[in-house]
Amino acid sequence: MNGTLAKSFRSSARPTIDVFNPFSGVSVGKVDAADEVAVADALRAARKAWRAFRFSTPAERKGLLHRLAELLAEDAEGMAQIICAEVGKTITEARNEVRRAQNTLRLSGDAITVLHGEVLPTAIVAGAPSKLAAITYEPAGIVGAITPFNYPLNLLCHKLGPAIAAGNAVVAKPSPKAPLAAERLGELAAKAGFPQGLFSVVHGGAEVAAMIASGDIDLLSFTGGPAAGLALKNASGLVRCLMELGGNDPLIVMPDADLDRAAQTAIEHRFEIAGQSCAAVKRLYLHEAIRDTMIERIAARIGDVRTGDPADAATVMGTVIDEPAAAEVERRVKLAVAQGARIVAGGRRRGTVFAPTLLDDVPAEAELVRSETFGPVLAVRRFSDPGQVIGEVSDSPYGLQAGVFTNDHALVKRFSRELRVGGVMINEGPDFRAENVPFGGIKSSGLGREGIHMTLREMSETKVVID
């Protein structure tokens, strides 16, 4: 498919980016690749649009976002088919993403009502002048939004929704591996009445991302890997950056936990979209007292995770994004086995389909434990002392989220206090996320937080007027 929103930024001589279905290898569409001129034109149009839009009313912004959500609802099945085809996630997962994206846009429109300021007195010490300080929030300006392939629609909406709600303009660059959903969202935004230039989509790889980061923007919002995030942060100079850079997230199961629920959560939070989620369970920490039982329960359930054509409603897990990604997962599994890990289930690859895999006795030095693996592999680490897990998780360069299964209140308090991560999910997996709740990590997992209410503030500038 070819979008129309950014027509004025295109040249007939510009190369195209072909998009292929990861399962079948069939071409599913193409988009025009941007160059320096196209990016500069998009940023220039965004600046022009923002100069007027910054004075729009909350009601006008809410109306635009709600209208976009309505159009997305009308186009829900078509959008889901696009996501299924370009990402390789199952049609069920794609439909769920479209549903969540609608919620993100609507909640962003509703959240405008909470972007209110306050009035503070200045005469707080003896002899100070008695004045009033009015603190308000104003639009930041132009937001550069760079998004990954795994949630091509909802992660873009998590940037677009709050940005528009705050009164900003947006220039977005989706992953070249899955650009079609973003292109379609741009078309729907134009149909919803977004002013020309307020939201545009440009396409390309790292070089286009760098052009945006170093261009005329006021805020950079990026979701991707730490290396790319650092490069873009350096390119952006003093521009404020919001970055979600992935994680190596643990699920910790204690002996007193509901083991059936913990086993099901481990499967759901690792094998969704073939393990390609930033907060998916990467490391499964099982207490020695229940390790064998948990491994048996998980292994028994893995057989129910049917793989195959993502477009088939009976498929539970689809593909990874491409052959190189599948080969990298395979390499890491083989290396872990060579280092002493034991394959309990899975471990096989067929093209871009990697079988749901469970490995026991994975050593701490294995890449599956040390760094983020984007694929359907559960790496089991055993422990007897909670302090061992807390130390290993907290010493990791990542710190996104953690899941803990226990009903021991003292342990809940200890894990919540001592784990150095951005979020601790109790009796839930680390991949749990609600659209309005702050989401993000510490250390190499990112800067700032997403989550509609918090992002709304992050994408605004504080102004103080004293009278």
CB-based burial of residue 200 (10 Å sphere; 0-12 exposed, 13-18 middle, 19+ buried)? buried
Give the pairing type, strands 142-146 and 169-173: parallel
Tracing tokens 């003292």 back to the chain, one arrives at 410
Rounded to whole angstroms, the Cα distance separating 138 from 165 reads 11
433 DSSP 8-state letter: -
Q: How far is CA 79 from the centre of its chain?
A: 18
Q: What are the C-alpha distances in Å from 417 to residues 373, 411, 454?
A: 26, 10, 22
Active site residue 241: no
From 39, 26, 22, 28, select the one nearest 180 (Cα to Cα). 28
Q: Which tokens go with 338? A: 């060579």
Q: Which residues contact 261 (CB under 8 A, 6 or more apart)?
A: 405, 427
Q: Which residues contact 121 (CB under 8 A, 6 or more apart)?
A: 130, 131, 132, 133
| Catalytic position from the list 93, 97, 183, 244 | 244
Rounded to whole angstroms, the Cα distance separating 134 from 416 reads 37
Rounded to whole angstroms, the Cα distance separating 369 from 301 reads 23
Active site residue 157: no
| Catalytic position from the list 86, 278, 372, 435 | 278
- Active-site residue set: 244, 278
